[in-house]
Amino acid sequence: MSKKTVLKLVAFNLGVSFINIFVFSGMFVRINMSGENVLQTALGVMIIVVSVILFFYVNYKILFAKSPQPHKDPAQEREIKTLDDCARAARQYIDTSKASTFVLTLRTIIEQIERFKRKKATIRDILLDRFSASEMSYSKFQSAVDGTEAIMIGATRSFIGRILAFDEEDYEKLLGNPTSGPISHLRQSHMKIYDEYIAYAGKVTHDNEQILIRLDQLILEISKLSALSDGDIADMDAVKEIESLISDTKWYK
């Protein structure tokens, strides 16, 4: 049970108690239910009945209320087409969701996106010092960088889609009550599914970091060379690794 839920329960039940004390206490209103005054007796019974109904109804609603889920826009995943879209979608999820399972992962992804953008700008500046934007050499480097960007966008888009389907409330219940319920023997099967979500989160950030490492390597190799031909570009280790990464991933289209 969350701290917020406990506070709601305490506040409501204290409120009901104070109202009844105020109504029936001799220090305040002091409604007499001895039967001598029919109107007071009827009013007292009505207050008690209403208090009992509210007690059970509101406590039930507080205890079993479903946590609000982030807005699931069917078009949201399709609209993620750029790195800025990825960062926006990640921030939107963090801001609108009370879930904590993937918040750190999303913050890491946002930070990785910012690093990628800085490295991309650095590569562009170095290349423009050596080539014009219309040269084939520039286009080959830019194509490699664009390929890694497409991978990062595709993986982030897929990750956002997955976490929107993640049932945070059910997951927290399984963690907090491992042996409760009539089907507790199926807990392992449920947890295996949720563990796949969490493992995928780790894979996305790991793959992004691999991309960033390859860009750092590319920056280093470019900066060490005074002149480059098309043949030199094709033989560069960093370019070979990036091209291999692009060809092996399903996110590049």
When mean pLDDT is compared across 2-6, 56-60, 139-143, the lowest value belongs to: 2-6
Out of 30-44, 111-125, 179-193, the most confident range is: 111-125
Band (77; pLDDT cuts 50, 70, 90):
very low
SS3 call for 44: helix
Residue 31 C-alpha from the chain's centroid: 53
pLDDT value for 239: 75
Identity of the residue numbered 6: V
Q: What pLDDT score was predicted for residue 141?
A: 83
Whether 124 and 54 have beta carbons less than 8 Å apart is answered as no
Instruction: Assess whether pLDDT exceeds 90 at residue 32.
Output: no
| Residue appearing with tokens 């204290």 | 14
CA distance 222 to 50: 78
Instruction: Give the integer Cα–Cα distance in Å for 250 and 234.
Output: 23
pTM of the full predicted structure? Answer: 0.62
Is residue 222 within 8 Å of 126, Cβ to Cβ? yes
- What are the tens digits of pLDDT across the range 33-63? 666 777 777 777 788 888 888 888 888 887 7
Q: Which of 156, 152, 158, 155 is nearest to 213 (CA)?
A: 152
Average pLDDT over residues 103-131: 91
Evaluate if residue 107 carries a pLDDT over 90: yes
Q: Mind listing the pLDDT tens digit for each residue in 204-244?
A: 999 999 999 989 988 888 877 665 555 556 567 777 777 77
The model's confidence at residue 252, banded by pLDDT at 50, 70 and 90, is: very low
What is the rounded distance in angstroms from the CA atom of residue 13 to the CA atom of residue 18? 9
In the chain, where are the structural domains located?
Answer: 3-64, 76-248
In the numeric block, the tokens 């590569």 are attached to: 123
CB neighbourhood size of 172 (10 A): 15
Distance CA 23, CA 8 (A): 23
Instruction: Give me the sign of the Cα torsion angle 172, 174, 175, 178.
Output: positive
- Residue 185: the pLDDT is 62
Query: What would the mean pLDDT of 24-34 be, rounded to a whole number?
Result: 71
Question: What percent of the chain has pLDDT above 70?
Answer: 79
Name the token pair of 174: 């399984």
DSSP string covering 102-114: THHHHHHHHHHHH
125 or 37, which is more confident? 125
How far is the CA of 202 from the CAs of 147, 153, 173, 192, in angstroms?
Answer: 21, 16, 22, 15
Please say whether the beta carbons of 152 and 113 come within 8 A.
Answer: yes
